[in-house]
């Protein structure tokens, strides 16, 4: 069974991280025992590494597209991407999503409303500040009474 791309990525990751020992059989036997790449034998992983490490991962990935290599055991072949012309509706949707929110229609009005003075909030803050001041003075009076006793 050919290697999937995810298996190839893992073999290259392990091989490059352990470049000094990756050409020996004992390294791949340890990888097999640890089940780092399930259902692959040490001999198979070592053979794959020896066959493809010299050419590099990039070349393997490029050739895997032509060979219809699966991405993983769960996902079939990598889908072919076909570029088509955009409709005006699609282009308009892209233009709207790329715009800065402040450039959208109605944005200045929204900012003005956010920054506007709210008389109810201002009154509430005044009342809360007054309560804090009164409570602060009462606490001072209690402190004075405690000292005098």
* CA–CA gap between residue 90 and residue 94 (Å, rounded): 6
CA distance 66 to 75: 17
* Average confidence score pLDDT of the chain: 74
**146 vs 35, which has greater pLDDT?**
35
Q: Is 33 helix (H, G, I), strand (E, B) or coil?
A: helix
Number of helices (H), then strands (E), belonging to the chain: the values are 7, 0
pLDDT at 24 over 70: yes
What's the pLDDT at 102? Answer: 56
pLDDT band for 48, please (50, 70, 90 cuts).
very high
Question: What is the domain partition of the chain in residue ranges?
Answer: 5-66, 88-148
Does 119 have pLDDT greater than 60? yes
Q: pLDDT at position 144, please? A: 44
What does each C-alpha distance from 42 to 15, 46, 105, 111, 130 come to in angstroms? Answer: 12, 6, 63, 64, 78
Percent above pLDDT 90 for the chain = 27
pTM: 0.49
């Amino acid at each position: 069974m050919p290697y999937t791309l995810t298996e190839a990525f893992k073999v290259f990751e392990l091989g490059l991280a352990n470049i000094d020992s990756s050409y020996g059989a004992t390294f791949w036997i340890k990888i097999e025992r640890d089940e780092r790449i399930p259902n692959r034998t040490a001999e198979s992983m070592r053979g794959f590494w020896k066959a493809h490490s010299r050419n590099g991962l990039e070349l393997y990935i490029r050739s895997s597209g032509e060979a219809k290599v699966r991405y993983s055991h769960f996902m079939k072949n990598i889908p072919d991407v076909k570029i088509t012309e955009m409709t005006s509706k699609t282009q308009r949707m892209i233009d709207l999503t790329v715009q800065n929110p402040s450039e959208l229609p109605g944005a200045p009005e929204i900012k003005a409303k956010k920054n506007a003075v709210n008389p109810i909030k201002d009154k509430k803050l005044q009342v809360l500040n007054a309560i804090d001041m009164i409570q602060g003075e009462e606490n001072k009076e209690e402190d004075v009474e405690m000292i005098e006793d």
